[in-house]
A and B are shown apart, each in its own frame.
Chain A
Amino acid sequence: MRVGVITFPGSLDERDAQRAVRLAGGTPVALWHGAHDLEGVEAIILPGGFSYGDYLRAGSIASHAPIMAEVIDAAHKGMPVLGICNGFQMLAEARLVPGAHGRNDCGTFVRRDQKLIVENNTTAWTKDFTQGEEIIIPLKNADGRFVADADTIKRIEDNGQVTFRYVGMNPNGSLDDIAGVSNEAGNVVGLMPHPEHAVEPGFGPDTAQAMRSGLDGLKFFTSVIQSTLLAKA
């Protein structure tokens, strides 16, 4: 399965995302923000980083990049799209997922191995998790505070569009401890923490068993490959 990873000016984690796709059994395809071509991919990842230096608002300028026209069109037609950190901010700015992001309430950049609960395991990117599963994946951001008006929060809570919630502590002041959300259809998911940094022994978060052995991020990528295979079958 071909999974596109789009590089924007200022993207940082596109190669980690490509590697995660490969480790999950997929074929990563490097896509370029300035092209109008998805090169026949079956899923898309918007990676983390600081596109355009977070100027204007985090993710806002990238959300208007040429390739985003194709991404938005494909997302509306049901193609799985995952936005990680800056990619989540792009999805929100492009109105593909609800809400928006503000500066962390603590005022500083936060980097930690973060515990999350999987609140919805029916999305294209979460099918390999069990409902309510607790996972640990790295978080690193400055503008991670998820914000939406009260009506939107109620709607996404009622619809099961809150995909992940922070557990134990809320690192950035996000409303309702929301760490990730999906669109109504569940093919588009955005989250602040970085699953692509927890896919390979020796490079993931610490676990009780061994240092840097956490692989909880891998299931994001195996989920999308599985769900696409199932859709074809």
Chain B
Amino acid sequence: MPTIVVEVMPKAEILDPQGKAVAGALTRLGHNQFSGVRIGKRFELTVDGPVTAETLAAAKTIAEDILSNSVIEDVVSISEAK
């Protein structure tokens, strides 16, 4: 099924307690090579029929209006799944 992938991340300056908790766990487990973790979201939007410029534009609209909140998050990518 043709799929559009939208990725959303918390803004860099916004505290990410989830990522911080995971980073703390990694340190406790001895994985000291990773200095930080930030957790975002990946949405897979399936499309009936081919992915077109129009469906990509619609995906961009919902990515900005519904899937993310621009006060705290950035849409980092919108692309057709390969």
Contacts and interface: CB of A to CB of B under 8 A. Distances in A.
Interface residues of B, number: 13
A102 B67 contact: no
Most A Cβ at <10 Å: residue of B16, B20, B66, B67: B66
Interface in B47-71: 66-67, 69, 71
B18 interface: yes
A148 B71 CA distance: 6
B17 A105 contact: yes
A227 interface: no
Most B Cβ at <10 Å: residue of A100, A101, A173: A100
Contact of A57 (B14, B17, B18, B69): B69
B81 interface: no
Nearest to B18: A103
B15 interface: yes
B66 A147 contact: no
B7 to A, nearest CB: 14
Interface string B13-38: 01111101100000000000000000
Interface of B: 10, 14-18, 20-21, 66-67, 69, 71-72
